[in-house]
Amino acid sequence: MKRVVLLGGGYVTLHAYGALVRRLRGELRRGEIEIVVISADTVHNFHGFTGEVVAGLLPIALTQTPLTEAMPRARVLHARVTRVDLVARRVHFTDDELAYDALVVGTGGREPLDAVDGLAGRGLTLRGPGDLADLLQRVQVLDGPVVVVGGGLAGVELAAALAARAAPVVLVQSADRVVPALHTEQPRLAARCTAELGRLGVDVRTGVRVAAVDDGSVTLSDGSVVRTHVVLATTGQRAVALAGLESLPRDDRGRLVTTRDLLVAPDVWSAGDAACVAHPRSGLPVTANALWAIKAGDHVGRNVARALRGRSGTPFRYLGLGQAASFGVGRGVADLYGFPLTGWVAWLMRVGFFLRFMPSRSRALRVPGELARRSRAGGPPTSLQTAVPR
């Protein structure tokens, strides 16, 4: 029996799994191949609807699918991977180890909290197990503003969602404008993002950095101090570092540099936020977002299936689609193949895309009704009772 080990429980793993099951149905049925998922989290977190959850428009449970439910043909191990031995072809994880014939590194990225004095241990992020539930719990007992650090698309969307929930928000952005990358490509959409933050009353501080964080305040590089107990970091990310992979080529964000077939070492593939994947046309690294993790994860699954049948891999050829953000029901911005869209069209397109890629059909079907009901009711705070137990 051959064993495929998928590291992480995110988009890469889910879509690599899907491609493997579609292509290796017979081998899986006959027990010739085993798929093992090793994940630090028991659920797949559908990050796309994080803004809606934070704004109180969706219950958190709709965005979390237990990995055992999403990947029923896999053996799912709830454990943290500590080391990969590329020579012995073994993965070491909490209290155990396992041999692999094919390995997929889909462990994603993390915000580099240690870049700011005091942020590590105090700053919240939204990538780890329980992170989103922690944030929801903290904003229920607010005694000051939430400070959102980082004014990229994710930071702007989260700041807007928090403000829609009636929390005062200070958004700190080191560049001289929010969503700078969008400004270069789609100035009209970037202007709409700025206008939406203004409409929601977000206090945007550009051209300043967070210099230090302590238990009750954030000090900015211009000397100003914001009294707060809740700091949310959306400051970009570094790939999760796994011991044993240090010798492999990496970029300046610690991401594993892949070949065109998405290999990083013999019989080891990677994609998503853990990997530096070259765009098939421009050769530049593709954006670290769910769309690219889904498409590259799917391609990894196909190439692993080919390798297990003794065939060579094929190059990753996906060219991209665009990006989108939401500022409340009917208030979207989207860049679709370079065309700027706003308002209901952008919002519906974004929701439709997310529903198509949610791992659970039953949860996806409940989303439109919840959005309609909760937005009519003014977006009541999300109940934490509905969180998936872990």
Ligand X SMILES: Cc1cc2nc3c(=O)[nH]c(=O)nc-3n(C[C@H](O)[C@H](O)[C@H](O)COP(=O)(O)OP(=O)(O)OC[C@H]3O[C@@H](n4cnc5c(N)ncnc54)[C@H](O)[C@@H]3O)c2cc1C
Residue 241 CB neighbours (<10 A): 12
The owner of tokens 């428009």 is 57
Of 48 and 328, the one with the shorter C-beta distance to ligand X is 48
**Chain centroid to CA 150: how far?**
15
Helices H, strands E: what count in the chain? 11, 26
The owner of tokens 């439910």 is 69
Output the smallest distance, CB 70 to ligand X, in A: 11
364 Rama sector, left if φ>0, alpha if ψ -120 to 50, beta otherwise: alpha
User: Which residue from 63, 64, 65, 107 is in contact with ligand X, where contact means CB under 6 A?
Assistant: 107
Half-sphere exposure of 358 (CA within 13 A, CB side): 22
Output the smallest distance, CB 172 to ligand X, in A: 17
User: Which residue from 2, 22, 30, 80 is in contact with ligand X, where contact means CB under 6 A?
Assistant: 80
Question: How far apart, in Å, do the first and last CA atoms of the chain sit?
Answer: 31
Task: Write out the two tokens for 71.
Answer: 């990947």
- Tell me which H or E stretch contains 238: strand 238-239
Of 211 and 320, the one with the shorter C-beta distance to ligand X is 320
Output the smallest distance, CB 223 to ligand X, in A: 30
Q: Is 329 within 8 Å of 345 (Cβ atoms)? A: no
Output the smallest distance, CB 222 to ligand X, in A: 27
Write out the binding residues for ligand X, residues 223-262 only, by CB under 6 A: 240
Of 220 and 325, the one with the shorter C-beta distance to ligand X is 325
Q: Per CB under 6 A, which region of 209-217, 284-292, 358-366, 367-375 contacts ligand X?
A: 284-292
Of 48 and 145, the one with the shorter C-beta distance to ligand X is 48
User: Which residue from 4, 6, 12, 169 is in contact with ligand X, where contact means CB under 6 A?
Assistant: 12
Contact letters for ligand X, residues 189-228 (x by CB under 6 A): ----------------------------------------
Of 218 and 271, the one with the shorter C-beta distance to ligand X is 271
Write out the binding residues for ligand X, residues 38-77 only, by CB under 6 A: 38-41, 47-48, 50
Q: What is the largest CA-CA distance in the chain?
A: 66
Of 129 and 254, the one with the shorter C-beta distance to ligand X is 129
Output the smallest distance, CB 30 to ligand X, in A: 29
The yes or no reply on residue 360 touching ligand X (CB under 6 A) is no
Q: Is 45 helix (H, G, I), strand (E, B) or coil?
A: strand
The owner of tokens 């959409």 is 189
> Which residues have a Cβ under 8 Å from the Cβ of 243 and sit 6 or more positions away?
82, 83, 84
Output the smallest distance, CB 230 to ligand X, in A: 15
Half-sphere exposure of 232 (CA within 13 A, CB side): 28
CA distance 282 to 297: 20
User: Which residue from 10, 118, 301, 340 is in contact with ligand X, where contact means CB under 6 A?
Assistant: 10
Contact letters for ligand X, residues 261-280 (x by CB under 6 A): -----------xxx------
Q: Can you spell out the DSSP letters for 344-357?
A: HHHHHHHHHHHHHH
Q: Is 58 within 8 Å of 371 (Cβ atoms)? A: yes
Site residues (vs ligand X, CB under 6 A) = 7-12, 38-41, 47-48, 50, 80-81, 106-108, 126-127, 129, 154, 240, 272-274, 288-291, 293
